[in-house]
Structure 1
Amino acid sequence: MSIPSIPSEEALRNLVQGPGDVEWRYEMRRECQEILPGLLLGPFQASKSQEVLRSLGITHIVCIRDAKEAFSVKPRFPGQFQYLTLDVEDNEEQNLIRLFPQANAFIQQALSQGGRVLVHCNGGISLSPAFVVMFVMQHCQLSWEDALHLVQNRRYCISPNGGFLTQIKEYESIYKANAAIARYPTAQMQRVVSRRKRDNDDDEAG
């Protein structure tokens, strides 16, 4: 599955703002919400009922947990759904950018197969939303602010901690650089080759 390129500023605004008719209620923090088609975000609570997961059409689950929660926050139905489990420290020093590619590849593959993915941590407030914001940013080619607002406008209670927010901001320049290289790999390689040739010529001339 791929999100189509955004045709206009108005369409981008609509995508980021999301459905305007949702009235957020406190108890909704215990449920999961659909962030993009096929991508849902929520707390561990949302992953505990096989009946609910089936009703939502979930096929894949990303379980993100602090290592000390491993005894309680864990895959509940390993035979029924495909899981990716990531042990992550829920503190501001934790490097999310290093762990994100694994989650990104799992989500991308699931969506490309027509699956539906639930991403959760314990509370669905800080840890799993940080991963989902990075995914949305890269997948929809958005700025970090727009990606954060897009997720927040669908799950109002998210609040990534300060360290995660800093990494979300950093990830914008990383994904844009990677996208630029992917678009122009031949041109990049030719520049490197010609630069090396110039350097060699200069060495020989010297």
Structure 2
Amino acid sequence: MATVNPTQLSPEQLKELIQGPGDEWTYEMRRQCQEILPGVLLGPLQASKSLETLQSLGVTHIVCIRDKMEAFSVRPRFPDKFTYLVLDVQDSEEQNLIRLFPQASAFIDSAISKGGRVLVHCNGGISLSPAFVVMYVMQHLQISWEDALHMVQNRRYCISPNGGFLTQIKEYESIYKAHNTLANYPQQERATVARRKREDDSDDELELRYVN
């Protein structure tokens, strides 16, 4: 599975990517992890507990997302074998995921840029970790929240982010798009706008001095 560059995908290729492989889903697969994007796997706690399985999948980094009350059981199992990021997050509709997402996103990006493979997991792999992965897919592929949710669901059919997480996933679409717009704004035009603002501020200051 090669790294996906969204700018090189045609609309048909992107649609095919979102639809997924169409593999038959069985109940037992809930206990396993699935590859959502090249190098990004999503699963439950159980998928993080087998050293043999993790090594067979080529995992190098693990994002362990847990409620603080689960810290005794949901924890890094092999800190000497893998690089971990642990996020203490409440699995409640009031929990702010958007504030925590940049840390997870940067960790995943760094791992992949080094040729690594990342497992993102929570306890059940149903609500909490899928919410982070949906936001990551949305941002990485620059697609809508609906398409990102469908893409993750088409690979891990059992996911079901709670209502509060789903609301934040929807909100994140406008946030990442605004960030991309700003980042893509031509540097020269940004400099021109900044210069004009300084000039306008100077004019206002001169006018105030004159009035005084």
Please report how far the alpha carbon of residue 163 of structure 1 lies from its aligned counterpart in structure 2 after TM superposition: 0.5
TM-score (ref. length: structure 2): 0.92
Q: Which amino acid aligns with 1:128?
A: S
Please report how far the alpha carbon of residue 9 of structure 1 lies from its aligned counterpart in structure 2 after TM superposition: 1.8
User: Per-residue CA shift, 1:94-115, capped at 9, x if unaligned?
Assistant: 0000000110010000000010
CA–CA distance in 1 between the matches of 2:9 and 2:207?
A: 52
Contact 2:35 2:155 in 1 (8 A): yes
Contact 1:2 1:112 in 2 (8 A): no
Q: Which 5+ residue runs of structure 1 have no aligned equivalent?
A: none
CA–CA distance in 1 between the matches of 2:14 and 2:50?
A: 35
State the aligned residue count. 205
User: Per-residue CA shift, 1:130-181, capped at 9, x if unaligned?
Assistant: 0000111111111111111110100000000010011111111111111111
Query: Is 1:77 aligned to residue 49 of structure 2?
Result: no
Within the candidate set 6, 9, 14, 1:12 is matched to 14
Q: Which 5+ residue runs of structure 2 have no aligned equivalent?
A: none
| Alignment partner, residue 171 of structure 2 | 170
Q: Which amino acid aligns with 1:164?
A: F
Alignment of 1:95-134 (within 5 A): 95-134=96-135
Runs of 4+ in structure 1 off by over 3 angstroms are none
Tell me the percent identity: 70
Larger Rg: 2
CA–CA distance in 2 between the matches of 1:178 and 1:169?
A: 15
| Alignment partner, residue 199 of structure 2 | 197
| Alignment partner, residue 62 of structure 1 | 63
| Alignment partner, residue 179 of structure 1 | 180
RMSD between superposed Cα atoms in Å: 1.4
TM-score (ref. length: structure 1): 0.95
Please report how far the alpha carbon of residue 7 of structure 1 lies from its aligned counterpart in structure 2 after TM superposition: 3.1
User: Per-residue CA shift, 1:164-205, capped at 9, x if unaligned?
Assistant: 011111111111111111112622343133123123214423
Contact 1:43 1:123 in 2 (8 A): yes
User: Per-residue CA shift, 1:8-55, capped at 9, x if unaligned?
Assistant: 2211110100102x0000110000000011100000000000000011
Query: Is 1:48 aligned to residue 49 of structure 2?
Result: yes
| Alignment partner, residue 161 of structure 2 | 160
CA–CA distance in 2 between the matches of 1:169 and 1:67?
A: 26
Please report how far the alpha carbon of residue 123 of structure 1 lies from its aligned counterpart in structure 2 after TM superposition: 0.1
Please report how far the alpha carbon of residue 2 of structure 1 lies from its aligned counterpart in structure 2 after TM superposition: 5.3
CA–CA distance in 2 between the matches of 1:76 and 1:82?
A: 11
Greater shift in the superposed pair: 85-94 or 194-203: 194-203
Q: Which amino acid aligns with 1:155?
A: R
Greater shift in the superposed pair: 87-96 or 174-183: 174-183
